[in-house]
Structure 1
Amino acid sequence: MALYNLSEFLSLLPPGSRLLGLDPGSKRIGVALSDVGLRIASPYTTLQRTKMKFNAVEIGEIAVREGVGGLIIGLPLDGEQTLGPRAQAARDWAHGLSDLLGLPVAMVDESYSTAETHERLIEAGVSRARRAEIVDKLAAAEILQRALDALQA
């Protein structure tokens, strides 16, 4: 399947479906889930990054179990908001995942989502060990919430 802009993406979603937000990193994939009203993103889980086909199975199982109709994937734009090597790798990964799962994908700028999440956790006094456990799914929720807010605008 193709990657869509948010307005096209919204028209492809089955009524009553939820969105899955993904923050793919080099070692882990943060996962977040929307409500059925597409207004609130919640952290869901963190997956270990492995081969695409194995991650696709895990993500597909979550999508079926939770009634997901589409994926929002973080796009790591560089400081000048352009597509660098990391962003191109993320786009390639998103295309592959969409093809394997048959779900539409929209990509959202993830700039600073992980850094901002880390900063908030430090300010909240969360231990380093606990931050490592939860930062990826919280960053995925931040990315998904950005998309949900844009869809409501």
Structure 2
Amino acid sequence: MTGITENPCGTILAFDFGKKRIGVAIGDSMLQLAHPLVTIDNTVTEQCFAAIAKLIEAWQPVLLVVGLPTHDDGREHELTRLCRRFARRLTGRFGLEIVLIDERYTSITASVALKELGVRGKKQKPMLDQMAAQQILQSFFDDNHAVT
């Protein structure tokens, strides 16, 4: 889980990890555009990873990007540790390279984007995590900065 050594060509999946839900976005390394894909329930680990396995089988990604949550000042917290564990599990189960991306403020900016589209309050819940994943992946495309 380090910075990528070369630019992979193909589909990339990105994840916005949360204890209850994981947002997933998809993009192509050539187009460098991210799109929200789906939100996965993360309350039952095996069901969560089964859903991820189906996505990986269907989309055949060349790389996985995982948003790494931290405090505003960059300090790590409990969710940071859980997210790193999630990323290690992805590597172990699927054998794909993982890149960790700073995800500070992605949920806030995703919420603002949804409000601009007229989606407010509880109606945002099903889409918020996948929109945050989209922002994580777009950040990867725009900056290609990974954290370790």
1:99 aligns with 2:97: no
Greater shift after overlay, 55-64 or 92-101? 55-64
1:31 aligns with 2:27: no
Unpaired runs of at least 5, structure 2: none
Match of 2:103 among 110, 118, 140: 110
Q: Aligned equivalents of 2:106 and 2:81: distance in 1?
A: 18
In the other structure, the counterpart of 1:66 is 59
In the other structure, the counterpart of 1:151 is 144
Runs of 4+ deviating beyond 4 Å: none
Q: Percent identity?
A: 27
Secondary structure at the residue paired with 1:68? coil
TM-score (structure 1 length as normaliser): 0.85
Size of the aligned set, in residue pairs, is: 145
Q: Aligned equivalents of 2:124 and 2:93: distance in 1?
A: 31
In the other structure, the counterpart of 1:4 is 2
More helix by share: 1
Shift of 1:84: 2.1
Residues 49-78 of structure 1, C-alpha deviations (whole Å, 9 max, x = no match): 133333222112112211211110010011
Shift of 1:109: 0.6
Q: Could you say if the C-alpha distance between residues 87 and 38 of structure 1 is closer, same or farther in structure 2, counting changes exceeding 3 Å?
A: farther
In the other structure, the counterpart of 1:85 is 78
